[in-house]
Amino acid sequence: MKALSQKRRHPLAVIALLVMGLLLTGVLYSVASTANQAKADSGFSATDVNEGQKLFVANCATCHGMNGQGSASGPSLVGVGAAAVDFQVGTGRMPMQMQGPQAYRKPPQFNTDQTRQLSAFVASLGAGPSLPDEAMLDGKGDATHGGELFRVNCAMCHNAAAAGGALTRGKFAPSLAGVEAKHIYEAMETGPQNMPVFSDANISPEGKRDIVTFLKTIEAQGSPGGADLGSLGPVSEGLFMWVAGLGVIIAFTIWLTSRTS
Protein backbone atom coordinates (compact mmCIF):
# COMPACT_ATOMS: atom_id res chain seq x y z
CA MET A 1 0.00 0.00 0.00
CA LYS A 2 2.87 2.32 0.84
CA ALA A 3 4.44 1.64 -2.56
CA LEU A 4 1.18 2.46 -4.37
CA SER A 5 0.82 5.66 -2.37
CA GLN A 6 4.30 6.74 -3.38
CA LYS A 7 3.54 6.06 -7.08
CA ARG A 8 0.38 8.17 -6.90
CA ARG A 9 2.47 11.05 -5.60
CA HIS A 10 5.07 10.69 -8.32
CA PRO A 11 5.55 13.97 -10.31
CA LEU A 12 4.71 12.19 -13.57
CA ALA A 13 1.37 10.91 -12.23
CA VAL A 14 -0.36 14.21 -13.03
CA ILE A 15 0.97 14.16 -16.60
CA ALA A 16 -0.12 10.53 -17.03
CA LEU A 17 -3.63 11.32 -15.81
CA LEU A 18 -3.79 14.34 -18.14
CA VAL A 19 -2.73 12.25 -21.13
CA MET A 20 -5.29 9.57 -20.27
CA GLY A 21 -7.99 12.23 -19.95
CA LEU A 22 -7.13 13.71 -23.32
CA LEU A 23 -7.13 10.30 -24.96
CA LEU A 24 -10.51 9.46 -23.45
CA THR A 25 -11.91 12.82 -24.59
CA GLY A 26 -10.59 12.22 -28.09
CA VAL A 27 -12.17 8.78 -28.28
CA LEU A 28 -15.54 10.08 -27.08
CA TYR A 29 -15.40 13.00 -29.54
CA SER A 30 -14.55 10.64 -32.38
CA VAL A 31 -17.50 8.40 -31.56
CA ALA A 32 -19.86 11.38 -31.30
CA SER A 33 -18.58 12.86 -34.57
CA THR A 34 -19.07 9.56 -36.34
CA ALA A 35 -22.62 9.33 -35.07
CA ASN A 36 -23.37 12.90 -36.13
CA GLN A 37 -21.81 12.34 -39.53
CA ALA A 38 -23.90 9.22 -40.02
CA LYS A 39 -27.02 11.22 -39.17
CA ALA A 40 -25.96 14.08 -41.45
CA ASP A 41 -25.20 11.81 -44.39
CA SER A 42 -28.83 10.60 -44.63
CA GLY A 43 -27.82 7.90 -47.11
CA PHE A 44 -25.93 10.22 -49.46
CA SER A 45 -22.86 8.92 -51.25
CA ALA A 46 -19.43 10.54 -51.31
CA THR A 47 -20.05 11.36 -54.97
CA ASP A 48 -23.23 13.22 -54.03
CA VAL A 49 -21.29 15.29 -51.49
CA ASN A 50 -18.44 16.07 -53.90
CA GLU A 51 -20.72 17.06 -56.76
CA GLY A 52 -22.86 19.07 -54.35
CA GLN A 53 -19.82 20.97 -53.17
CA LYS A 54 -18.99 21.96 -56.74
CA LEU A 55 -22.52 23.23 -57.29
CA PHE A 56 -22.46 25.03 -53.96
CA VAL A 57 -19.19 26.83 -54.67
CA ALA A 58 -20.42 27.90 -58.11
CA ASN A 59 -23.91 29.03 -57.10
CA CYS A 60 -24.26 29.54 -53.34
CA ALA A 61 -20.87 30.44 -51.84
CA THR A 62 -21.18 34.14 -52.76
CA CYS A 63 -23.80 34.58 -50.03
CA HIS A 64 -23.32 31.58 -47.76
CA GLY A 65 -19.50 31.32 -47.76
CA MET A 66 -17.23 28.71 -49.30
CA ASN A 67 -17.87 26.27 -46.45
CA GLY A 68 -21.44 27.28 -45.72
CA GLN A 69 -20.30 29.32 -42.72
CA GLY A 70 -22.44 32.30 -43.73
CA SER A 71 -21.63 35.93 -44.49
CA ALA A 72 -23.18 39.37 -44.31
CA SER A 73 -25.32 38.42 -47.31
CA GLY A 74 -26.56 35.02 -46.15
CA PRO A 75 -26.89 32.88 -43.01
CA SER A 76 -24.76 29.93 -42.01
CA LEU A 77 -25.96 26.59 -43.37
CA VAL A 78 -24.09 24.45 -40.86
CA GLY A 79 -26.63 22.19 -39.21
CA VAL A 80 -29.68 23.18 -41.28
CA GLY A 81 -29.80 19.67 -42.75
CA ALA A 82 -30.73 18.22 -46.11
CA ALA A 83 -34.45 18.90 -45.68
CA ALA A 84 -33.93 22.68 -45.57
CA VAL A 85 -31.90 22.64 -48.79
CA ASP A 86 -34.35 20.35 -50.56
CA PHE A 87 -37.21 22.70 -49.64
CA GLN A 88 -35.51 25.99 -50.49
CA VAL A 89 -33.87 24.81 -53.72
CA GLY A 90 -36.66 22.44 -54.77
CA THR A 91 -39.28 25.21 -54.59
CA GLY A 92 -37.06 27.68 -56.44
CA ARG A 93 -36.78 30.03 -53.47
CA MET A 94 -33.02 29.62 -53.56
CA PRO A 95 -31.02 31.02 -55.17
CA MET A 96 -33.03 34.18 -54.49
CA GLN A 97 -34.13 36.21 -57.47
CA MET A 98 -33.63 39.44 -55.53
CA GLN A 99 -33.17 40.66 -51.98
CA GLY A 100 -36.41 41.35 -50.16
CA PRO A 101 -38.43 40.59 -47.05
CA GLN A 102 -39.19 37.08 -48.29
CA ALA A 103 -38.02 34.62 -50.95
CA TYR A 104 -40.67 33.88 -53.56
CA ARG A 105 -41.54 30.48 -54.94
CA LYS A 106 -40.49 30.17 -58.59
CA PRO A 107 -39.43 27.48 -61.08
CA PRO A 108 -36.39 25.68 -59.61
CA GLN A 109 -32.98 26.42 -61.08
CA PHE A 110 -31.62 22.92 -60.37
CA ASN A 111 -32.98 19.54 -61.37
CA THR A 112 -33.79 16.72 -58.94
CA ASP A 113 -30.30 15.17 -58.99
CA GLN A 114 -28.56 18.52 -58.50
CA THR A 115 -30.90 19.41 -55.64
CA ARG A 116 -30.07 16.10 -53.98
CA GLN A 117 -26.35 16.75 -54.40
CA LEU A 118 -26.62 20.21 -52.86
CA SER A 119 -28.60 18.68 -50.00
CA ALA A 120 -25.88 16.06 -49.52
CA PHE A 121 -23.11 18.65 -49.29
CA VAL A 122 -24.95 20.86 -46.79
CA ALA A 123 -25.91 17.78 -44.75
CA SER A 124 -22.20 16.89 -44.54
CA LEU A 125 -21.50 20.23 -42.82
CA GLY A 126 -23.44 19.24 -39.73
CA ALA A 127 -26.33 17.10 -38.55
CA GLY A 128 -29.80 18.48 -39.20
CA PRO A 129 -33.28 17.43 -40.40
CA SER A 130 -32.94 14.79 -43.09
CA LEU A 131 -35.11 14.18 -46.13
CA PRO A 132 -38.53 12.83 -45.11
CA ASP A 133 -39.31 9.13 -45.32
CA GLU A 134 -41.46 8.26 -48.34
CA ALA A 135 -43.89 6.50 -45.99
CA MET A 136 -44.73 9.89 -44.47
CA LEU A 137 -45.70 11.28 -47.89
CA ASP A 138 -48.03 8.55 -49.12
CA GLY A 139 -51.21 10.55 -48.44
CA LYS A 140 -52.69 7.70 -46.40
CA GLY A 141 -52.76 9.47 -43.05
CA ASP A 142 -55.81 10.53 -41.05
CA ALA A 143 -57.17 13.59 -42.86
CA THR A 144 -59.62 14.39 -40.04
CA HIS A 145 -56.85 14.47 -37.43
CA GLY A 146 -54.64 16.35 -39.87
CA GLY A 147 -57.33 18.99 -40.26
CA GLU A 148 -57.49 19.45 -36.49
CA LEU A 149 -53.72 19.82 -36.26
CA PHE A 150 -53.68 22.24 -39.18
CA ARG A 151 -56.37 24.50 -37.72
CA VAL A 152 -54.62 24.59 -34.34
CA ASN A 153 -51.05 25.12 -35.59
CA CYS A 154 -51.18 26.55 -39.12
CA ALA A 155 -54.51 28.20 -39.96
CA MET A 156 -53.72 31.48 -38.21
CA CYS A 157 -51.18 32.21 -40.96
CA HIS A 158 -52.09 29.98 -43.89
CA ASN A 159 -55.89 30.36 -43.58
CA ALA A 160 -58.20 27.49 -42.60
CA ALA A 161 -58.47 26.53 -46.28
CA ALA A 162 -54.66 26.79 -46.78
CA ALA A 163 -55.18 29.74 -49.14
CA GLY A 164 -52.41 31.79 -47.51
CA GLY A 165 -52.49 35.17 -45.84
CA ALA A 166 -50.65 38.42 -45.25
CA LEU A 167 -48.13 38.92 -42.44
CA THR A 168 -46.22 42.01 -41.30
CA ARG A 169 -43.54 44.07 -43.09
CA GLY A 170 -44.30 42.77 -46.57
CA LYS A 171 -44.14 39.11 -45.59
CA PHE A 172 -46.83 36.53 -46.19
CA ALA A 173 -47.83 32.92 -45.60
CA PRO A 174 -48.10 31.35 -49.07
CA SER A 175 -50.96 29.28 -50.39
CA LEU A 176 -50.33 25.55 -50.00
CA ALA A 177 -52.26 24.55 -53.11
CA GLY A 178 -50.07 22.69 -55.58
CA VAL A 179 -47.15 22.30 -53.15
CA GLU A 180 -45.49 18.88 -53.20
CA ALA A 181 -46.10 16.68 -50.16
CA LYS A 182 -42.39 16.45 -49.35
CA HIS A 183 -42.01 20.23 -49.39
CA ILE A 184 -44.94 20.63 -46.98
CA TYR A 185 -43.34 18.09 -44.65
CA GLU A 186 -39.90 19.70 -44.95
CA ALA A 187 -41.33 23.14 -44.20
CA MET A 188 -42.80 21.85 -40.95
CA GLU A 189 -39.46 20.28 -40.02
CA THR A 190 -37.23 23.23 -40.88
CA GLY A 191 -39.37 26.36 -40.40
CA PRO A 192 -38.41 28.39 -43.48
CA GLN A 193 -38.48 32.19 -43.30
CA ASN A 194 -41.22 33.29 -40.86
CA MET A 195 -42.58 29.83 -40.22
CA PRO A 196 -41.86 28.23 -36.81
CA VAL A 197 -40.14 24.86 -36.59
CA PHE A 198 -42.52 22.02 -35.74
CA SER A 199 -40.16 19.43 -34.35
CA ASP A 200 -41.26 15.89 -33.56
CA ALA A 201 -41.83 17.07 -29.98
CA ASN A 202 -44.45 19.57 -31.26
CA ILE A 203 -46.01 17.49 -34.03
CA SER A 204 -45.07 13.84 -34.40
CA PRO A 205 -44.05 12.42 -37.79
CA GLU A 206 -47.43 10.73 -37.95
CA GLY A 207 -49.11 14.07 -37.20
CA LYS A 208 -47.18 15.72 -40.03
CA ARG A 209 -48.27 12.88 -42.29
CA ASP A 210 -51.89 13.54 -41.28
CA ILE A 211 -51.52 17.26 -42.09
CA VAL A 212 -50.10 16.46 -45.52
CA THR A 213 -53.00 14.07 -46.12
CA PHE A 214 -55.52 16.74 -45.06
CA LEU A 215 -54.02 19.35 -47.38
CA LYS A 216 -53.96 16.99 -50.34
CA THR A 217 -57.53 15.90 -49.59
CA ILE A 218 -58.99 19.42 -49.60
CA GLU A 219 -56.94 20.24 -52.71
CA ALA A 220 -58.43 17.26 -54.53
CA GLN A 221 -61.96 18.04 -53.38
CA GLY A 222 -61.95 21.59 -54.69
CA SER A 223 -64.99 23.64 -53.67
CA PRO A 224 -68.04 21.36 -53.78
CA GLY A 225 -70.27 24.04 -52.25
CA GLY A 226 -69.84 26.51 -55.12
CA ALA A 227 -67.53 29.46 -55.77
CA ASP A 228 -64.86 29.60 -53.06
CA LEU A 229 -64.31 33.38 -53.39
CA GLY A 230 -60.61 32.87 -52.85
CA SER A 231 -61.25 30.88 -49.64
CA LEU A 232 -60.59 34.06 -47.70
CA GLY A 233 -63.39 33.45 -45.22
CA PRO A 234 -66.12 35.76 -43.90
CA VAL A 235 -64.54 38.97 -45.23
CA SER A 236 -64.88 38.07 -48.90
CA GLU A 237 -68.18 36.29 -48.29
CA GLY A 238 -69.62 39.28 -46.42
CA LEU A 239 -68.41 41.67 -49.12
CA PHE A 240 -70.00 39.54 -51.82
CA MET A 241 -73.30 39.35 -49.95
CA TRP A 242 -73.24 43.12 -49.31
CA VAL A 243 -72.54 44.05 -52.94
CA ALA A 244 -74.78 41.37 -54.47
CA GLY A 245 -77.56 41.84 -51.96
CA LEU A 246 -77.48 45.62 -52.21
CA GLY A 247 -77.48 45.34 -56.00
CA VAL A 248 -80.54 43.10 -55.93
CA ILE A 249 -82.36 45.52 -53.60
CA ILE A 250 -81.55 48.52 -55.82
CA ALA A 251 -82.62 46.65 -58.96
CA PHE A 252 -85.87 45.57 -57.32
CA THR A 253 -86.54 49.13 -56.13
CA ILE A 254 -86.02 50.53 -59.64
CA TRP A 255 -88.28 47.87 -61.11
CA LEU A 256 -90.95 48.47 -58.48
CA THR A 257 -91.00 52.26 -58.91
CA SER A 258 -91.09 51.96 -62.69
CA ARG A 259 -94.14 49.72 -62.43
CA THR A 260 -96.07 52.13 -60.20
CA SER A 261 -95.41 55.05 -62.47
Q: Tell me whether the CATH fold assigned to 40-125 matches the one assigned to 134-235.
A: yes
State the pLDDT at residue 100. 83
Burial class (CB in 10 A: 0-12, 13-18, 19+), 223: exposed
Q: Rounded to an integer, what distance in angstroms lies between the CA atom of residue 75 and that of residue 250? A: 58
206-224: per-residue pLDDT in tens? Answer: 999 999 999 999 998 876 6
Residues near 127 by beta carbon (within 8 Å), at least 6 away in sequence:
36, 37, 39, 40, 79, 81
Q: What share of the chain is helix, strand, coil (3-state, %, to 5)?
A: 60, 0, 40
**The amino acid at 39:** K
State the pLDDT at residue 173. 94
pLDDT band at 149 (very low <50, low <70, confident <90, very high): very high
Domain ranges for the chain, please list them.
40-125, 134-235
pLDDT band at 226 (very low <50, low <70, confident <90, very high): low
pTM of this prediction exceeds 0.75: no
164-207: per-residue pLDDT in tens? Answer: 988 988 899 999 999 999 999 999 999 998 899 999 999 999 99
Domain 40-125 has CATH 1.10.3720.10: no
- Residue 175, number of CB atoms within 10 A of its CB: 17
Q: Give the architecture-level CATH label for domain 134-235.
A: Orthogonal Bundle (1.10)
